[in-house]
């Protein structure tokens, strides 16, 4: 997600890390594990702290599980992992008037409800 937000391609990230873009794809899909040293390099390249990759995870020492936060994070991640979602997330805050933002939200909600009715 951070890579996409920065507009960095898998190829560019792979080059910066000395990897193939296929390896970056495997890391992103979770097909391959990322070593601690490689995670550090990725964080440095994407200009985030290593802890960025662990945001939203429950602390194993306290067993606190924030199910609402985890569910919200899943929704946001799913949304931002689409090109349209990422672009919408970038453009939406640029709409200065709250009334217009609500109208856009109402339109999207109505379209989603129509789609749900058609499927169900």
User: Tens of pLDDT along 60-112?
Assistant: 665 555 666 677 788 888 888 888 888 888 888 888 888 999 999 999 999 98
In this prediction, residue 54 carries a pLDDT of 81
What is the rounded distance in angstroms from the CA atom of residue 112 to the CA atom of residue 102? 15
Q: What is the DSSP letter of 93?
A: G
In this prediction, residue 66 carries a pLDDT of 62
**pTM of the full predicted structure?**
0.50
- Please give the torsion angle defined by the CA atoms of residues 35, 39, 73 and 68, in that order, rounded to the nearest 10 degrees: 60
In this prediction, residue 24 carries a pLDDT of 93
3-state SS assignment for residue 34: coil
Q: Report the percent of the chain where pLDDT is more than 70.
A: 88
CATH superfamily of 1-55: lambda repressor-like DNA-binding domains (1.10.260.40)
Q: Where are the alpha helices (DSSP H) in the chain?
A: 2-6, 10-17, 21-29, 36-45, 67-80, 83-91, 98-119
Q: Is the pLDDT of residue 12 over 60?
A: yes
Digit-coded pLDDT (tens) for 31-59? 889 988 899 999 999 998 888 888 776 66
């Amino acid at each position: 997600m951070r890579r996409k937000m920065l507009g960095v391609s898998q190829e560019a990230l792979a080059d910066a890390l000395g990897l193939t873009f296929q390896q970056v794809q495997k890391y992103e899909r979770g097909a391959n594990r990322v070593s601690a040293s490689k995670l550090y390099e990725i964080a440095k390249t994407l200009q985030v702290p290593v802890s960025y990759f662990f945001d939203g995870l429950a602390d194993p020492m306290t067993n606190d599980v924030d199910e609402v936060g985890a569910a919200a994070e899943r929704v946001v991640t799913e949304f931002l992992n689409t090109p349209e979602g990422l672009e919408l997330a970038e453009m939406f805050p640029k709409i200065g008037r709250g009334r217009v933002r609500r109208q856009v939200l109402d339109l999207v909600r109505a379209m989603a409800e129509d789609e749900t009715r058609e499927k169900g």
